[in-house]
Chains A and B, each alone.
Chain A
Amino acid sequence: MTTQAVSASSSSATRTGARRRTLTTVLWHVGTLILLAIVLYPLVWLFGASLRPSHDIVGNIGLFPTSPEFGNYQRALEGIAGVPVSRFFLNSLLLAVGSVIGTVISSALAAYAFARIRFTGRGVLFALMISTLLLPFHVLIIPQYIVFQRVGLVDTYVPLLLGKFLATEAFFVFLMVQFMRGLPRDLDEAAKIDGCGHARIFWHVILPLARPAIITTSIFAFIWSWNDFLGPLLYLQTPDNYTLPRALQLYIDQTSASDYGAMIAMSMLALVPVILFFLAFQRFLVEGVSTSGLKG
């Protein structure tokens, strides 16, 4: 890449410019990689630990074992109580995808209303929405559980997904509000003059422009659902319905022996789908949004 850049230039003036650019590019990569090494060290350590025998993990400060072994992965892949690991992955995936769909749709609708429509009570409702962020979840667990329990929805996925389709995560609504309010207002004014209603402005103007916010929301909704432990703990009873975090935590028990190796191996495996999801979606963050093309 560097040689290409250098050989591409011909005149001496552009050559120095190109050389300087090449130098900054190299420096940028070197600097970023050093920073990355620091940030990723703990993850590398975890990966190293997943290749150690279980009793050699806690309290061991080394990075990589001298003779790596894969017994931990083997045990992690065995499944739990007759339920195969693939089942936990599938359950988690189902919930995560459901969460993404529900959260994106419901939050985008609510955010559009807050950010782009003037209606009576908007301020009060917005304040109420923000206030739902402020209460620690611990005191809400029990009343919420009682609701779902009375209705007989415990041990189904409904309690875990219903809130997502009803925009109960104010974080996402607020996130999208912030993005949508940043979009130039003349866009929808123009659309209005063209006779567009809110539904069409939302769909054809705002949604495409709010793509970075939607992608961000999707990524977070996926990961949060993927890593959620408490919801599945309270609402899922049948092992066939368990998610990965519930399975993960079964390798540790303070009252009996703990298998740290299998647990770390499992959490390494659990990372793979989220990394893939992120890799797939972050591409959409790359392309900058150009508003100019839409103005005409």
Chain B
Amino acid sequence: MTAVGRTRRVRAAVGMALCLTMLATGCGGGSGDDGTVELRFTWWGNAERAELTQQVIDLFEERHPNITISPDFAEFEAYWQARSTEVAGGGLPDVLQMDYVYLRQYAERGVLLDLNPQVEAGNLDTSDMVSGLAETGVIDGGLYGVAWAGNTWSMAYNPALFEQAGVPLPEVGWTWDDYHNAIRTITERTGVHGAPDYIGRIYVLELQLLQEGGQLYTEDGQLGFTRDQLRDFWNSTASLRDGGYTLPPQESAEVAPLTPLGADLVASEMSWDNFLVRYAGETETPLALGPVPSDNPEVLGQYLKPSMLLSASARTEHPEEVAMFIDFLINDPEAGRILGGNRGIPATNAQREAAELTEVEQAVVDYENSLIEAGDLQPAPPAPPAGAGTIEALFLRLGEEISYGRISVDEAVEQFFTEAETALAS
């Protein structure tokens, strides 16, 4: 550490000299002395999101002439590479879009700002959040993320294919066996595969664990399931796989980056409910959202997860303005109207009402509302531990290798536990 520290100092000194000579673009930026505050705000997303977010920023700046928001955006993967680099350099942006899977990692390592004092000071209001979302940003008592949008795990399906095969549409109370039978029947009768092999999706395992009263991660951040449970899960679709009822992995790889459902290759696919919007962008086939299968009709295992949160840098010089900006982003009806469903379904009631939603987005809201009204949603589990992102990717990769028949389930289980334990320990 001392070695690095010293070289850093030396390099900084030399760099300073360079900076003076290379003044073409000038050194740094920052807040001026005239009372204006400049906040850097980053998010991931596409061009359309950048467009809408800029409008919201303009609106905020109009209302707060002393605050300037300087935006920065990139696609998801690139976004996180840039953020990790910044973390190493010690300079996260003032306000950043946060993913649930990384929240604890960033919070526990002390790079995020605890927003509780700002809530207490009245700069940030989280009271209007939809069922349970307000709690999702709390880590060890501190508020490190504020949900901006939410989603829940769901079953998206193509009703026409279900009907063509004479299979009843998904409804609350259907079991995993029902689902597997539906997959078989649809494949046999329509020639379209009933579903992709879902064993790579860790959220399906989580769903089943929650239905059985378990959890994916324990309170102290360890794996919440045993080798046997994982083996059973990965074996559960073996007969579908071997019988050719689920979509062969080759075929889903062929159509990527389209999703199998979006490419009309399957009749159903489990994923986040707001993916319905993505599917609708990929195919013109009408799709619907249904309840997930459960062997325990009392518990569906679904919960409202923040699909993205807003966090602030622990090093920000303007916590008050940061809180005001976050408050505006999540609560302001006008901001909600502009953003619509672009970031997923808004997290606050005020913005849900204000948002102008497309038909598909409205269908997602209706789906969530029906779950809330039926009391089927349970509180979200604590934010996943540091390393959860690695584990999710590991799960996906091993699931794929099993689907390809490149690795036996037993081998995969061993590999998973070895790697996952390393990831959780580091």
Q: A241-257: which have CB < 8 Å to B?
A: 246-247, 249-257
Question: Which residues of A lie under 8 Å from residue B19 when comparing CB positions?
Answer: 151-153, 158
Closest to A260 in B: B257
User: Which of the segments A6-14, A29-37, A107-115, A139-147 contacts the partner chain?
Assistant: A139-147
User: Could you tell me if A256 and B45 are in contact, using CB atoms closer than 8 angstroms?
Assistant: yes
If A142-B89, A233-B82, A255-B44 touch, whether A239 touches B16 (CB-CB below 8 Å) is no
Q: B293-344: which have CB < 8 Å to A?
A: 342
Q: Is A238's CB within 8 Å of the partner chain B?
A: yes
Q: A153-180: which have CB < 8 Å to B?
A: 153-158, 162
Closest to B283 in A: A55
Question: Which residues of B lie under 8 Å from residue A162 when comparing CB positions?
Answer: 18, 22
If A81-B53, A237-B72 touch, whether A250 touches B47 (CB-CB below 8 Å) is yes
Closest to B272 in A: A255
User: Could you tell me if B74 and A251 are in contact, using CB atoms closer than 8 angstroms?
Assistant: no
User: Could you tell me if A256 and B342 are in contact, using CB atoms closer than 8 angstroms?
Assistant: yes
Partner of A259, one of B26, B46, B283: B46
A90 to chain B, nearest CB (A): 15
A248 to B46, CA, bound (A): 10
Partner of B29, one of A59, A155, A158: A155
Interface size on A, residues (CB 8 A): 43
Q: Is B85's CB within 8 Å of the partner chain A?
A: yes
User: Could you tell me if B76 and A255 are in contact, using CB atoms closer than 8 angstroms?
Assistant: yes
Q: Is A82's CB within 8 Å of the partner chain B?
A: yes
Partner of B54, one of A82, A238, A250: A82
Interface size class of B (residues with CB under 8 A): 35 or more
User: Could you tell me if A149 and B89 are in contact, using CB atoms closer than 8 angstroms?
Assistant: yes
Question: Which residues of A lie under 8 Å from residue B342 when comparing CB positions?
Answer: 256
Q: Is A227's CB within 8 Å of the partner chain B?
A: no
Partner of A147, one of B12, B25, B76, B257: B12
Most chain B CB within 10 A, of A250, A256, A258, is at A256
Q: Is A80's CB within 8 Å of the partner chain B?
A: yes
A278 to B398, CA, bound (A): 45
User: Could you tell me if B12 and A150 are in contact, using CB atoms closer than 8 angstroms?
Assistant: yes
A251 to B277, CA, bound (A): 16
B67-108 interface mask toward A, CB cutoff 8 Å, 1 = contact, 0 = none?
A: 000111111111001100110111101000000000000000
A101 to chain B, nearest CB (A): 13
User: Could you tell me if B74 and A249 are in contact, using CB atoms closer than 8 angstroms?
Assistant: yes
User: Could you tell me if B49 and A59 are in contact, using CB atoms closer than 8 angstroms?
Assistant: no
Q: Is B201's CB within 8 Å of the partner chain A?
A: no
User: Could you tell me if A81 and B71 are in contact, using CB atoms closer than 8 angstroms?
Assistant: yes
Question: Which residues of B lie under 8 Å from residue A82 when comparing CB positions?
Answer: 51, 54
B305 to chain A, nearest CB (A): 13
Question: Which residues of A lie under 8 Å from residue B51 when comparing CB positions?
Answer: 80-82
B146 to chain A, nearest CB (A): 18
B1-14 interface mask toward A, CB cutoff 8 Å, 1 = contact, 0 = none?
A: 00000001001100
Q: Is B28's CB within 8 Å of the partner chain A?
A: yes
Q: Is B255's CB within 8 Å of the partner chain A?
A: yes
Question: Which residues of B lie under 8 Å from residue A257 when comparing CB positions?
Answer: 46, 48, 277-278, 281
Q: Is B50's CB within 8 Å of the partner chain A?
A: yes
Q: Is A279's CB within 8 Å of the partner chain B?
A: no
User: Could you tell me if B28 and A152 are in contact, using CB atoms closer than 8 angstroms?
Assistant: yes
Question: Which residues of B lie under 8 Å from residue A47 when comparing CB positions?
Answer: none
Q: Is A148's CB within 8 Å of the partner chain B?
A: yes
Partner of B90, one of A149, A238, A246, A255: A149
A156 to B29, CA, bound (A): 10
Q: Is A234's CB within 8 Å of the partner chain B?
A: yes
Q: Is A219's CB within 8 Å of the partner chain B?
A: no
Closest to B93 in A: A237
Q: Is B40's CB within 8 Å of the partner chain A?
A: yes
User: Could you tell me if B282 and A55 are in contact, using CB atoms closer than 8 angstroms?
Assistant: yes
Most chain B CB within 10 A, of A154, A155, A237, is at A237
B403 to chain A, nearest CB (A): 20
Question: Which residues of A lie under 8 Å from residue B16 when comparing CB positions?
Answer: 151
Partner of B78, one of A146, A155, A158, A233: A233
User: Could you tell me if B75 and A59 are in contact, using CB atoms closer than 8 angstroms?
Assistant: no
If A158-B22, A256-B46 touch, whether A81 touches B54 (CB-CB below 8 Å) is yes
User: Could you tell me if B72 and A238 are in contact, using CB atoms closer than 8 angstroms?
Assistant: yes
If A146-B89, A158-B25 touch, whether A256 touches B49 (CB-CB below 8 Å) is yes
User: Could you tell me if A55 and B28 are in contact, using CB atoms closer than 8 angstroms?
Assistant: no
Most chain A CB within 10 A, of B29, B45, B85, B255, is at B85
Q: Is A262's CB within 8 Å of the partner chain B?
A: yes
Q: Is B15's CB within 8 Å of the partner chain A?
A: yes
Question: Which residues of A lie under 8 Å from residue B54 when comparing CB positions?
Answer: 81-82
Query: Which residues of B line the A interface, CB within 8 A?
Result: 8, 11-12, 15-16, 18-19, 22, 24-29, 40, 42, 44-51, 53-54, 70-78, 81-82, 85-86, 88-91, 93, 254-255, 257-258, 263, 277-278, 281-284, 342
- Closest 8 interchain pairs by CB? A152-B28, A151-B15, A156-B25, A81-B50, A81-B54, A149-B89, A253-B46, A237-B72
Query: Which residues of A line the B interface, CB within 8 A?
Result: 55, 58-59, 80-82, 141-142, 145-158, 162, 229, 233-234, 237-239, 246-247, 249-259, 262
Q: What 5 additional pairs, Cβ within 8 angstroms, besides A147-B11, A162-B22, A259-B48?
A: A146-B89, A150-B12, A234-B85, A257-B46, A257-B281
What are 8 pairs between A and B in contact, CB < 8 Å? A145-B89, A154-B91, A233-B82, A237-B70, A252-B75, A252-B257, A254-B76, A257-B281
